[in-house]
Amino acid sequence: MKASLNKFHWIPRMISILAIIILSLFAFDAFSSGYTIAEQIGRFLVHLSPPAIIGIFLAIAWKRELVGGILFTIVGVVLSPIIYQHNYLMSHSIITAIGSVAIIAFPSILVGILFIISGFKKKKRCKKNYEY
């Protein structure tokens, strides 16, 4: 029981941290020629906003797993059609659009579900320990 609880505790946290790191690396695309230093720094900060938001969600989920899990799941579900439509209009390919959803939105949904499972398992364990 302890090992499965531990997995559900750490896996969503590690996936979230990995997503933050990967999204933060994309922010370096802001530094390209043709823009002033001030514009490049502004673009860099704008590109860092998604990892910052995920970081805020992770901080919430770290303390309140159920709330954080619900936030991650809602964001993933809400972003899925938006990401699909945006990528379909750009590429006119259903496969590319679905692939983009799978890469961008699915990890958020997965992390949310794992946080929710972990929250319920901890609640169940605490309730069981309290009964004795």
For the cut 80, the answer to whether the pLDDT of residue 130 exceeds it is no
The pLDDT value given to residue 131: 59
Measured distance CA(49)–CA(36) in Å, rounded: 20
- Owner of token pair 């989920």: 61
Mean pLDDT of the chain: 88
pTM of the model: 0.80
| Helix ranges, 1-132 (H) | 2-26, 37-47, 49-63, 65-91, 94-104, 106-131
Show me where the domains of the chain are located. Answer: 2-131
Percent of the chain beyond pLDDT 90?
64
User: Using CA of residue 107, residue 5, residue 62, residue 64, what is the dihedral sign?
Assistant: positive
Give the mean model confidence (pLDDT) for residues 8-23: 91
Question: For residue 56, what pLDDT band results from cuts at 50, 70 and 90?
Answer: very high
